[in-house]
């Protein structure tokens, strides 16, 4: 695997390899010295054209934990701000001979384009409303730790599906791992024709009780400007996940940042069913695993079938 | 009813040598003239002098082409081309655009007026026609905008524009948003004539859409343009044209609902004609999964297989009058960006025939005769004589080799831009020679004329 551009490109075996690699990094994370020398001397560029807290910080920390040199470029204050084209920016950054470029961009297909312009491995950290593969992988990792296999599990993704790259990547990822998915939201925020991706569509929360996992999406307050919803109040009344609607055996997830009191009520966020904090934790080890698979995992036998993995690299300062 | 002028008569081009030519033993196909047999095609003084039995024509001093095994058709006419001049000569101009047309087998084109600045005054039209007289390889006509600067507010001086030679009117690139303004233009047409060509799209429904709305846009997370954005505007404008007894031409049909709207308007007696592009006839929104904006982003967008089938049916049953390319050159800078940011439009002049032949004629979807007919049918819609191989007429001939294969873009393009929807594809059938207005406008580089005797 040279690039991680989408969840769609990954088969189940490749997904499992990344998740198992992430498990081994979770083990490293429990040691006192959390850094490994795997990517020493290699450069990773983090190129963010949109604001991001979780994704950029966890990718950057992941690169540092793997001992890579990190160049972090944010669109504000850089030459991007001065009107430089994406192609020219990538050409400039490629002069540093990076091993990987992690890119977040407001438009679909940006990571794929960049992959055609550079020799580096490219990681899609979110492209427009298209895909967010590392989010889907960390969500799978989080869920798997809690419930084991996703085979036969029922997952509801609730909210603004239309504008959500997380919904798209997670729909594909959950189905690939054997779960069935229902997309739920107001008809104005469900893309026309989406059921052809193999999911169910519901315009109400009736039937939510059947779900094993409820995955709520962020609802942006400005959506009412384009008449997608009449008001945030009406949206919350119909679609908010609260302790009345969330059963005791159902798990709750959210990609963050949460609009408290809109898509989720405060009490469910902090409830024991909520995996939201674990999702953030998983972000770091899964992104370490992604960088490892792309930059150090190639050429090694894939841990498919026998489940044997190379041992986790020894932390720096300890004999390998 | 006044006589319809010939293409050379009404449009502007660079006049040159009218070398006499004999296409010896060509398979001649002109479905409208009812010709489908091998002939020697004799071109003398810019006219079709004679269709003689194969080998029978006396060539005299004429250049002779051994055309045995090759096909001669009436040359094509494209009523929808963007020459990008004035303003974006980095993308195309009269010289390169008409060269691309000649290479595609066209003997005449009509250029759209959405340039920078727009073609909105008599002086603009006169300047373009003057330029065409020194640069155009094939006769070129120029439409003027319906509204000043395409702002959709006040009408251009349509009567003066017609006197200056405007071939018709269009705000193509944008719809005429206001029904009131369009109604005035349709009324004014009674004074000045000139077909009003319409880009049909309701901007309220298109919004910031970048591709067809459907399962593919849902999968890609791209904002969709619903089919009804096009068809509702066609229905509105057809109703206005019917009420004012005006003539409209609907550009680049893309959706099943649009074909139905045209059929309903015809049924109601409205004077409406329409066109479809080769890319809408050959491709669907599945191609957009590549996110290749250079080849697959245009407006209207590539739609579903069901829509494509409706366009093909419309072409067969006559609901769709002609094929037009909507040749829309763009610079690499405007295309080498993420799909949503990329400019809309693809080039198509150089590949129209070969693509239709490869994708639709060879698999048996459309008859060769129908494709040839529809590629020439744009001319009469704009009050110009249809290119014909009937003896006595202006010589507008294309000679094709239907056996040869070529890879699009391999040897570059005649167009200044490279955003061909066929880029990289291997196509069957190639234009070898184009005779436009009696002059050899194009000869394929590897095809030598005058070697046979």
**In B, which residues are within 8 Å of A112 by CB distance?**
291
Q: Is the minimum CB–CB distance between A197 and chain B shorter than 8 Å?
A: yes
Cβ atoms of residues B406 and B421 within 8 Å: no
Across A185-258, the runs of DSSP E, i.e. the strands, are 200-202, 213-216, 251-253
- Does the beta carbon of B338 lie under 8 angstroms from any beta carbon of chain A? yes
| A196 contact B CB<8A | yes
Asked if residues B136 and B159 have their Cβ atoms less than 8 Å apart, the reply is no
pLDDT for A47: 96
Whether A108 and B224 lie within 8 Å, measured CB to CB: no
Identify the pLDDT of residue A298: 55
Strand (E) or helix (H) holding B433: strand B426-436
Residue A42 reports pLDDT greater than 90: yes
Domain extent at residue A196: 133-278
- Residues A139-179: tens digit of each pLDDT: 999 999 999 999 999 999 999 999 999 999 999 999 999 99
Whether residues A158 and A264 share a domain: the answer is yes
Task: State the pairing for strand pair A121-127/B271-276.
Answer: unpaired
B11 SS3 class: coil
Q: Could you tell me if residue A313 is inside a domain?
A: no
* CATH assignment, B75-381: 3.20.20.140
The residue of chain A with its CA nearest to that of B225 is A192
Over residues A73-101, the pLDDT tens digits come to 987 766 666 778 999 999 999 999 999 99
Among the partner-chain residues A108, A165, A193, the one whose CB lies closest to the CB of B291 is: A108
Quick check: is A269 in a domain?
Answer: yes
What are the chain B neighbours of A127 within 8 Å (beta carbons)? 338
Fold of the CATH domain B7-72+393-443: Urease, subunit C; domain 1 (2.30.40)
Instruction: Find residues 87-106 of chain A whose CB sits inside 8 Å of chain B.
Output: 87, 105
Indicate if A114 and A166 belong to the same structural domain.
no
Task: Say if A84 falls within a structural domain.
Answer: yes
Is A234 found in the same domain as A181?
yes
**Where does chain B hold its CATH 2.30.40.10 domain(s)?**
7-72+393-443
Q: What is the ipTM of this complex?
A: 0.89
pLDDT over 90 for what percent of chain A?
A: 82
- A243 plus A257 within the same structural domain: yes
Q: Which two tokens stand for residue B347?
A: 């080039």
Q: Which pLDDT value is given to residue A226?
A: 83
pTM of this structure = 0.93
Q: Are A110 and A103 in contact (CB under 8 A)?
A: yes
Give the whole-number percent of chain A exceeding pLDDT 70.
91
What's the distance, CA B3 to chain centroid?
23
User: Does residue A127 sit in the same domain as residue A137?
Assistant: no
Q: Which residues contact A239 (CB under 8 A, 6 or more apart)?
A: A158, A159, A184, A185, A186, A205, A219, A263
Number of domains in chain A: 2
Give alpha helix (H) positions in B193-220.
203-206, 215-220
Residues making up chain A, counted from first to last = 320
Q: What is the dihedral of CA B104, B108, B113, B118, to 10 degrees?
A: 100
**Contact status of A129 with chain B (Cβ, < 8 Å):** yes
Cα of B215 to nearest chain A Cα, Å: 4
CA distance B115 to B108: 19
CB contact under 8 A, B339 and A129: no
Strand segments (E) across B112-246: 140-142, 169-170, 196-198, 211-212, 224-225
Torsion of CA B255, B259, B264, B268, to 10 degrees: 120
Mean pLDDT computed over every residue of chain A: 91
With respect to residue A88, please indicate whether it lies within any of the assigned structural domains: yes
C-alpha separations of A241 from A155, A156, A280, B132 in Å = 14, 11, 20, 67
The DSSP symbol for A209 reads G
User: How many angstroms separate the CA atoms of B44 and B62, rounded?
Assistant: 8
Question: Does A6 map to a domain?
Answer: no
* Residues A177, B328: Cα–Cα separation, whole Å: 44
| B448 Cβ contact partners less than 8 Å away, ≥ 6 residues apart | none
- Put simply, whether A86 touches B (Cβ < 8 Å) is yes
> CA–CA separation, B46 vs B449, rounded Å?
17
Vertex A180, ends A174 and A183: CA angle to 5°?
85
Neighbours of B191 (CB within 10 A): 10
Mean pLDDT of A120-142: 97
The reply to whether residue A194 touches residue B336, judged by beta carbons under 8 angstroms, is no
Burial class (CB in 10 A: 0-12, 13-18, 19+), A270: exposed
- B341: nearest CA in chain A? A107
* Model confidence pLDDT, tens digit, residues A286-308: 999 999 999 997 544 443 333 34
The string of DSSP letters for B230-279 reads: HHHHHHHHHHHHHHHT-EEEE----SHHHHHHHHHHHHTT-EEEEEE-HH
Which residue is associated with the tokens 């009324």?
B187
Residues A140 and A199 grouped into a single domain: yes
DSSP A47-76: EESS--SHHHHHHHHHHHHTT-EEEEEEST
List CB contacts (< 8 A) between A86 and chain B: 337-338
* Spatial contact of B139 and B382, defined as CB atoms under 8 Å apart: no
Report strand pairing: B47-52 vs A180-184. unpaired
Contact A129 B224 (CB under 8 A): no
Please tell me whether residues A56 and A20 are part of one structural domain: yes
Active-site residue, B326 included: yes
3-state secondary structure of A252: strand
Residues of A in contact with B336 (CB under 8 A): 85, 87, 113
Q: Do A142 and A253 reside in the same domain of the chain?
A: yes
Cβ pair B333:A109 closer than 8 A: no
Residue A310 domain-assigned (yes or no): no
Q: Which of A57, A278, A256, A290 is nearest to A164 (CA)?
A: A256
Domain CATH number, residue A155: 3.40.50.1370
Tokens linked to B46: 């810019």
**Pair (A225, A191) in one structural domain:** yes
Residues of A in contact with B333 (CB under 8 A): 85
Q: How confident is the model at residue A227 (pLDDT cuts 50, 70, 90)?
A: confident
**Which chain A residue has the Cα nearest residue B304?**
A193
A151 and A111 part of one domain:
no
DSSP letter, residue A185: S
Q: Do A215 and A163 share a structural domain?
A: yes
Closest CB to A197 among B213, B218, B291: B218
Q: Does the pLDDT value for residue A316 go beyond 80?
A: no
Interface test mutation site (partner A, options B219, B289, B424, max chain A beta carbons within 10 A): B219
User: Is residue A80 a part of any domain in this protein?
Assistant: yes
Residue in B with minimal Cα distance to A164: B221
What residues in chain B have per-residue pLDDT under 50? Answer: 1, 450-453
Residues A138 and A265 grouped into a single domain? yes
For CATH 3.20.20.140, the residue range(s) in chain B are: 75-381
- The length of chain B is 453
CB contact under 8 A, B222 and A128: yes
User: Which pairs with CB-CB distance under 8 Å and at least 24 residues apart come from B362-365?
Assistant: B362/B428, B365/B312
The pLDDT, as a whole number, for residue B18 is 86
> Is B209 an 8 Å CB contact of chain A?
no
Asked whether residue A315 is domain-assigned, the answer is no
Query: Could you tell me whether strands B196-198 and A154-158 are parallel, antiparallel, or unpaired per DSSP bridges?
Result: unpaired
* Residue A224 pLDDT greater than 80, yes or no: no
Report the relative pairing of strands A121-127 and B397-407 from DSSP bridges: unpaired
Cα dist. B209→A86, A152, A197 in Å?
22, 36, 21
Question: Is residue B55 within 8 Å of B25, Cβ to Cβ?
Answer: yes
Question: Of B215, B217, B341, which is closest to A107 when you measure between CB atoms?
Answer: B341
Instruction: Please tell me the predicted confidence (pLDDT) of residue B324.
Output: 98
B63 in contact with A at a CB cutoff of 8 Å?
Answer: no
B302: nearest Cα among B253, B266, B351: B253
Sheet holding B196-198, edge to edge: B169-170, B196-198, B247-250, B271-276, B322-323
Tokens at A303, concatenated: 């841990």
Nearest-CA distance A165 → chain B (Å): 7
């Amino acid at each position: 695997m040279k690039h991680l551009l989408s969840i769609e490109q990954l088969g189940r075996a490749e997904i499992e390899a990344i998740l198992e690699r992430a498990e081994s990094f979770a083990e490293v994370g429990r040691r006192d010295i959390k850094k490994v020398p795997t990517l020493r001397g290699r450069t990773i560029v983090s190129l963010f054209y949109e604001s991001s807290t979780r994704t950029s910080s966890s990718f950057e920390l992941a690169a540092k934990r793997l001992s890579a040199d990190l160049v972090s470029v944010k669109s504000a204050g850089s030459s991007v701000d001065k009107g430089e084209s994406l192609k020219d920016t990538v050409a400039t950054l490629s002069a540093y001979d990076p091993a990987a470029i992690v890119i977040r961009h407001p438009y679909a297909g940006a990571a794929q384009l960049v992959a055609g312009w550079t020799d580096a491995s490219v990681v899609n950290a979110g492209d427009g409303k298209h895909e967010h593969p590392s989010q889907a992988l960390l969500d799978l990792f989080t869920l798997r730790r809690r419930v084991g296999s996703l085979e036969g599990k029922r997952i509801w993704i609730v909210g603004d599906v239309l504008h959500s790259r997380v919904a798209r990547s997670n729909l594909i990822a959950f189905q690939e791992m054997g779960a069935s998915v229902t997309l739920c939201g107001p008809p104005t925020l469900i893309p026309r024709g989406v059921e052809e991706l193999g999911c169910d569509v519901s315009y109400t929360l009736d039937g939510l009780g059947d779900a094993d996992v409820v995955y709520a999406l962020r609802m942006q307050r400005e959506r009412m400007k384009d008449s997608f919803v009449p008001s945030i109040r009406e949206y919350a009344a119909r679609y908010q996940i609260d302790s009345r609607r969330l059963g005791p055996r159902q798990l709750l997830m959210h990609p963050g940042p949460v609009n408290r009191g809109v898509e989720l009520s405060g009490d469910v966020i902090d409830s024991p069913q909520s995996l939201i904090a674990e999702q953030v934790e998983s972000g770091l080890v899964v992104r370490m695993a992604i960088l490892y698979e792309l930059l150090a995992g190639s050429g090694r036998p894939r841990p498919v079938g026998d489940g044997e993995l190379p041992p986790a690299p020894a932390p720096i300062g300890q004999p390998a | 009813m006044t006589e319809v002028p010939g293409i050379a008569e009404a449009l502007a081009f660079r006049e040159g040598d009218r070398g006499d030519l004999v296409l010896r033993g060509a398979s001649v196909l002109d479905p409208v003239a009812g010709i489908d047999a091998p002939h020697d095609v004799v071109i003398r003084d810019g006219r079709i002098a004679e269709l003689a039995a194969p080998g029978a024509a006396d060539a005299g001093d004429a250049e002779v082409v051994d055309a045995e095994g090759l096909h001669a058709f009436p040359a094509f006419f494209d009523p929808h081309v963007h020459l990008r001049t004035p303003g974006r000569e980095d993308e195309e101009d009269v010289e390169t655009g008409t060269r691309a047309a000649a290479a595609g087998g066209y003997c005449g084109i009509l250029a759209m007026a959405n340039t920078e600045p727009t073609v909105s005054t008599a002086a603009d039209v006169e300047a373009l026609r003057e330029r065409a007289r020194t640069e155009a390889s094939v006769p070129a006509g120029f439409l003027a905008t319906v509204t000043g600067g395409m702002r959709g507010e006040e009408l251009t001086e349509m009567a003066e524009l017609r006197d200056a030679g405007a071939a018709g009117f269009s705000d193509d690139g944008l719809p005429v948003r206001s029904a009131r303004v369009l109604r005035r233009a349709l009324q004014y047409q009674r004074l000045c004539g000139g077909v009003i060509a319409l880009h049909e799209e309701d901007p309220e429904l298109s919004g910031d859409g970048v591709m067809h709305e459907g399962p593919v846009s849902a999968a890609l997370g791209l904002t969709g343009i619903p089919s009804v954005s096009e068809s509702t505007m066609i229905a509105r404008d057809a109703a206005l044209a019917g009420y004012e007894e005006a003539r409209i031409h609907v550009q680049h049909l893309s959706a099943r609902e649009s074909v139905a709207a045209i059929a309903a308007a015809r049924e109601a007696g409205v004077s409406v004609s329409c066109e479809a592009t080769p890319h809408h006839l050959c491709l669907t929104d599945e191609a957009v999964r590549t996110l290749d904006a250079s080849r697959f982003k245009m407006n209207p967008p590539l739609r579903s297989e069901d829509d494509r089938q409706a366009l093909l049916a419309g072409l067969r049953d006559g609901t769709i009058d002609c094929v037009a390319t909507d040749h829309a050159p763009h610079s690499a800078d405007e295309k080498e960006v993420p799909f949503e940011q990329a400019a809309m439009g693809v080039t198509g002049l150089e590949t129209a025939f070969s693509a239709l032949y490869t994708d639709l004629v060879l698999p048996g979807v459309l008859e060769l005769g129908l494709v040839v007919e529809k590629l020439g049918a744009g001319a009469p819609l704009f009050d110009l004589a249809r290119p014909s191989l009937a003896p006595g007429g202006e010589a507008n001939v294309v000679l094709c080799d239907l056996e040869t294969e070529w890879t699009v873009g391999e040897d570059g393009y005649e167009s200044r831009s490279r955003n061909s929807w066929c880029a990289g594809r291997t196509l069957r059938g190639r234009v070898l020679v184009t005779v436009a207005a009696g002059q050899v406008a194009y000869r394929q580089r590897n095809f030598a004329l005058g070697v046979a005797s």
